[in-house]
């Protein structure tokens, strides 16, 4: 049973079942609802594998003892991926994107902001949109990343409160925020890099900018620690398949204008041509155990103070 919010998850589970003969059921939803479902099933989990963006949620689940520890696939990680591996080997990165990248149309914006502070300019009043971190998996890491960059929760809350005072609009997911950009309801979208790059493939006037520092956002898999031994063994096979050459071909092709636009975590696997070099981006890696423990509280504050 795979709980997943990845755009290529249907293609991957189908390919895995075909390759191994292991019956595989996919529950696909946005990250927020999936995590709520996992939490509600804490005493009797139905999932065998959880696969969503952002390692903060996995760090929180690890702290609760929900994840299988001390196992990882035997692969040749990239240096960026090795930086994300937890010490207790309780979850596994599967691909890298950036959280909260700036996406805009060159037909309406000739000079986008070049810094995070620039978003607070009156020039952009009512023209900025982002996702709701309580729903969208890529968005809590963006919110936490800004708090990390600015020096803590209080300063981060001040930044988002200033954005709200400047007319920030909050939508559910990447697709909703991109739709608002396309209709002219906003001029600047703060969304996951893969969504922005995918939009530019469909419409070359759409551009993606990486304000420094961007926050590195891993796609992550975790295995249910409470699952029967046979299911854990099958889940390990699933992870191994995802990170195999066959699995990476599926991951790179299963959602060609969305989640497939990632930086691979396996050395020797190249990203799609539309994805810029990772070395060209100034990014930060935030501590998932520090921020994962605060996710519920921060999301509640964001819902009450920014969304409502």
Write the DSSP symbol of residue 70. Answer: S
In the chain, % of residues over pLDDT 70: 100
pLDDT, tens only, 9-50: 999 999 999 999 999 999 999 999 999 999 999 999 999 999
Q: What is the pLDDT of residue 9?
A: 98
Q: What is the mean pLDDT of the chain?
A: 97
Dihedral class, residue 89 (left if φ above 0, else alpha if ψ from -120 to 50, else beta): left
Q: Over 90: is that where the pLDDT of 70 sits?
A: yes
Q: Are 225 and 50 in contact (CB under 8 A)?
A: no
Superfamily of domain 99-214: Periplasmic binding protein-like II (3.40.190.10)
Contacts of 192 (CB under 8 A, 6+ apart): 53, 97, 98, 99, 100, 101, 138, 174, 217
Is the model's pTM score more than 0.85? yes
Q: Over 90: is that where the pLDDT of 107 sits?
A: yes
Superfamily of domain 2-97+217-288: Periplasmic binding protein-like II (3.40.190.10)
Instruction: Look at residues 122, 119, 66, 112 and name the one whose alpha carbon lies nearest to residue 91.
Output: 66
Tokens 């594998």 belong to 49
Q: What is the pLDDT of residue 148?
A: 98
Q: pLDDT band for position 137 (50/70/90)? A: confident
DSSP annotation string for 34-52: HHHHHHHTTTS---SEEEE
Question: The tokens of 276 are what?
Answer: 């810029």
Q: What is the pLDDT of residue 36?
A: 94
Q: How far is CA 141 from the centre of its chain?
A: 7
Q: pLDDT band for position 129 (50/70/90)? A: very high
Instruction: Look at residues 187, 193, 186, 194 and name the one whose alpha carbon lies nearest to residue 209.
Output: 193
Q: pLDDT band for position 296 (50/70/90)? A: very high
Q: What is the pLDDT of residue 5?
A: 96
Contacts of 228 (CB under 8 A, 6+ apart): none
Tokens 């926050």 belong to 215
Report domain extents, the chain: 2-97+217-288, 99-214
List residues bridging with 26 in a β-sheet: 2
**Domain 2-97+217-288 shares a fold with domain 99-214:** yes
CA 274 – CA 284 distance, rounded (Å): 22
Q: Across residues 283-293, what is the average pLDDT? A: 97
Q: Over 90: is that where the pLDDT of 74 sits?
A: yes
CA-CA-CA-CA torsion sign (271, 276, 279, 282): negative
**Beta strands 283-284; 214-223: pairing state:** parallel
Beta strand ranges found along the chain (DSSP E): 2-4, 26-28, 49-53, 92-99, 101-105, 128-131, 169-171, 188-191, 206-209, 214-223, 283-284
pLDDT, tens only, 191-231: 999 999 999 999 999 999 999 999 999 999 999 999 999 99
Task: Say how many C-beta atoms besides its own lie within 10 A of residue 131's C-beta.
Answer: 30
CA 138 – CA 99 distance, rounded (Å): 6
CA 30 – CA 183 distance, rounded (Å): 23
């Amino acid at each position: 049973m795979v709980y997943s919010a990845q755009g290529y998850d249907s293609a991957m589970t189908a390919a895995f079942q075909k390759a191994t003969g292991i019956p595989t059921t996919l529950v696909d939803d946005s990250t927020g609802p999936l995590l709520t479902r996992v939490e509600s099933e804490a005493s009797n989990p139905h999932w065998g594998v959880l696969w969503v963006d952002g390692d903060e949620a996995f760090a929180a689940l690890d702290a609760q003892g929900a994840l299988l520890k001390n196992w990882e696939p035997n692969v040749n990680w990239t240096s960026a991926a090795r930086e994300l591996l937890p010490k207790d080997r309780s979850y596994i990165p599967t691909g890298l994107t950036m959280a909260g990248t700036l996406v805009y149309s060159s037909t309406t914006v000739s000079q986008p902001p070049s810094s995070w502070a620039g978003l607070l300019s009156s020039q952009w009043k009512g023209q900025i949109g982002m996702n709701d971190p309580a729903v969208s998996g890529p968005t809590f890491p963006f919110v936490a990343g800004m708090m990390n960059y600015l020096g803590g929760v209080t300063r981060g809350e001040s930044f988002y409160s200033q954005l709200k005072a400047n007319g920030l609009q909050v939508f559910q997911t990447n697709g909703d925020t991109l739709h608002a950009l396309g209709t002219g309801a906003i001029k600047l979208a703060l969304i996951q890099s893969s969504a922005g790059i995918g939009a530019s493939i469909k419409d070359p006037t759409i551009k993606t900018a990486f304000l420094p520092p961007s926050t590195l956002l891993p796609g992550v898999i975790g295995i249910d620690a409470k699952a029967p031994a046979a299911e854990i063994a099958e889940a390990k096979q699933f992870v191994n398949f995802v990170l195999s050459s066959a699995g990476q071909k599926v991951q790179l092709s299963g959602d060609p204008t969305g989640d497939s636009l990632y930086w691979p975590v396996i050395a020797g696997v190249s990203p799609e041509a539309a994805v810029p070099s990772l070395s060209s981006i100034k990014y930060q890696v935030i501590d998932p155990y520090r921020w994962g423990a605060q996710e519920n509280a921060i999301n509640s504050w964001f819902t009450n103070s920014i969304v409502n």
